[in-house]
Amino acid sequence: MKSSHKKSNRMLIGAGIFLVVYLLASVIFGSFLIDRFSIQELPNRNVTHVTVWRNW
C-alpha cells in the first residue's frame, strides 16, 4: 500500500512540474510572438512623426 502512495505522489509531483514548465514556456513563447507581430504591424498605422530641430 505504501509503495502505491509513493508512486502516485511522484506522479502528481511530476505532473505538477510538467504543467508549470509548460505554462512558463507557453507564456514566454506567446509574449515573444505578440511582441514580434505587434512590431511588424506598427508601420501600417497612420502615425505622424514630428522632428524638432533646435538651434543651439
How do residues 8-56 score in pLDDT, each as one tens digit? 999 999 999 999 999 999 999 988 888 777 765 555 556 566 666 666 5
Q: What is the pLDDT of residue 36?
A: 76
pTM: 0.54
What's the pLDDT band for 4 if we cut at 50, 70, 90? Answer: confident
pLDDT score at 32: 84
Q: Over 90: is that where the pLDDT of 2 sits? A: no
CA–CA dist 33, 44 (Å, integer): 18
Q: How many CB atoms lie within 10 A of CB 50?
A: 4
